[in-house]
Chain A
Amino acid sequence: MDKKDIIASGMLEQYLLGELSADQCTIVENILAESQQVRDYYSQMESNFERMAQENAIAPPSQAKEFIMKAVANDTPSKKAHTLSRTKGKISYFTPIAAALAAIFLLSTFWMYYKWQDANEGLVEIEKETIDLRNRITVLEQNNTETQKWYQAINIPNTYQLTLKGNNVLPNSTAITYINHDQKTVILNPQGLPDIGEDKSYQMWADVDGEMINMGVILEDQKMVAMKYIEDAESVNITIEPKGGSDHPTVEFLISSAAI
């Protein structure tokens, strides 16, 4: 291939764009080296191409250059070395301080965490105690209210007290009853009645003209129990009955009796 052929073949245009293979490049470069005419032709082509590219230039955004120059600055060996040495100097000077600060920070973090956990546990305990106290207050308030109620009930004028002492069937038993004929109330304090097992109950009866009338089953776990008031009762009596009470009293288990 001679200089005329290479111009006619369009290889120079392809060479300019970098499209040719290594072998083809060698051929073109040899001819360029030998022929001033081809060199001038190619040089003109390059200039025209550059001009054409400048005519169609588009300004890139400014950050593109910033990016490049930053990357280049980091890549410069002297700067790298300088940066490294400065960094190294800083490391040797500040490392013990930084390490000490880090250790203090680490320890204080652990200490704070421990304290926080401790405080948290304490708080949980306090919360539990508060709930417990609140429950106890509620119970005390209920008891107080109940006591007040019973106190007022038995403290009304014309209320009189009867003590029902145990007979030979249950000699250690005692029950106290408060009767008010104006209010038509009977209140019993059963706390002196001994435990007789789960299958039995105490029951209270009123004797009216020789007939025993049911005044109700006594709830032993109560401090005070309101019983049924029966008109014209001559006495009050307590018997032991099967659990839940009976319609008629079991006379053999009459444990106490008091005339009104």
Chain B
Amino acid sequence: MQDDITLMNRVSIQDESALSLLYDKYSAALYGITLRICKDEMLAQEALQETFLKIWKNPQSYDASKGKFFTWANRIARNTSLNCIRSKKMFIQNTDLSVYEDKEVEEEPQDFLKLNGCLKNLDPHHQKAIELVYFNGLTHKEAHEEMGVPLGTFKSYIKQAVKKLRENYAVSILLSLFFIT
């Protein structure tokens, strides 16, 4: 985290190499999110590029005392992606709908968007809850409607999922420490 704060300090004095390092470190994780939200490679790339340009132009809006760099960058990426989708929808509404209408219906989930890592160890409904809010850009309110469960139930899904992830990651950290020693 200290590294990220240092890099952001350098970004705030217009150090391009610092932004380049942040990009190398986080672009894939953020692209994984923008792509899952946009479900369109061009839009996702646009959102990713815009995210880093916002970071470059407004580094002062990052407050390290309030959280990690990635949390802040993720919020930017998520909002930017949602805006890109809204712009695309507005564009479609203002143009010939027939060209696009069927395309959305036909869209199949792509293999590379399937979730990996510790998430796969979660129960399916926990996994789904996490996917909707963390990777698909839905709010808790939208996500509980999507899953067809009350908001309270949905929040408990998230809480339980986060707890299990915490346990899984703690175990994996212990295991990695064990193998290192």
Contact = CB atoms under 8 A, between A and B. Distances in A.
Q: Do A and B come from one complex?
A: yes
B145 interface: no
A36 interface: no
Contacts of B16: 69, 72-73, 76
Contact of B29 (A14, A42, A57, A78): A57
Contact of B119 (A19, A45, A56): A56
B14 A78 contact: yes
Nearest to B27: A60
B171 interface: no
A67 B53 CA distance: 10
A67 B52 CA distance: 11
A18 B32 contact: no
Given A17-B78, A55-B117, A60-B31, A68 B23 contact: yes
Nearest to B20: A69
B67 to A, nearest CB: 6
Main SS of the interface on chain A? helix
Given A44-B166, A53-B70, A58 B112 contact: yes
Contact of B68 (A50, A57, A65): A50
A interface bracket (residues with beta carbon within 8 Å of B): 35 or more
- Chain B CB count within 10 A is highest, among A13, A52, A71, A78, for A52
Contact of A58 (B31, B56, B139, B166): B31
Nearest to A55: B117
Nearest to B74: A53
A72 B78 contact: no
A250 interface: no
A219 to B, nearest CB: 78
Interface size class of chain B, counting residues whose CB lies under 8 Å from the partner chain:
35 or more
Contacts of A10: 140, 155-156, 158-159
Contact of A52 (B56, B66, B119): B119
Given A10-B155, A48-B162, A68-B52, A56 B32 contact: yes
A82 B149 CA distance: 59
A69 B28 CA distance: 16
A75 B28 contact: no
A75 B56 contact: yes
Contacts of A69: 16, 19-20
B43 interface: no
A57 B52 CA distance: 16
Interface string B24-39: 0001111111011000
B49 interface: yes
B88 interface: no
B118 A17 contact: no
A60 B66 contact: no
Question: Which 4 residue pairs of A and B lie closest in terms of their CB atoms, listed nearest first?
Answer: A55-B117, A57-B28, A18-B75, A10-B155
Given A45-B162, A55-B119, A67-B49, 5 more contacts: A10-B155, A19-B139, A46-B71, A53-B74, A72-B53
27 contacts: A14-B139, A17-B75, A17-B78, A18-B75, A18-B79, A45-B162, A45-B166, A46-B70, A47-B169, A51-B118, A53-B74, A54-B29, A57-B28, A59-B31, A64-B31, A64-B45, A64-B48, A64-B49, A67-B49, A68-B23, A68-B56, A69-B16, A69-B20, A71-B53, A72-B56, A75-B56, A75-B57
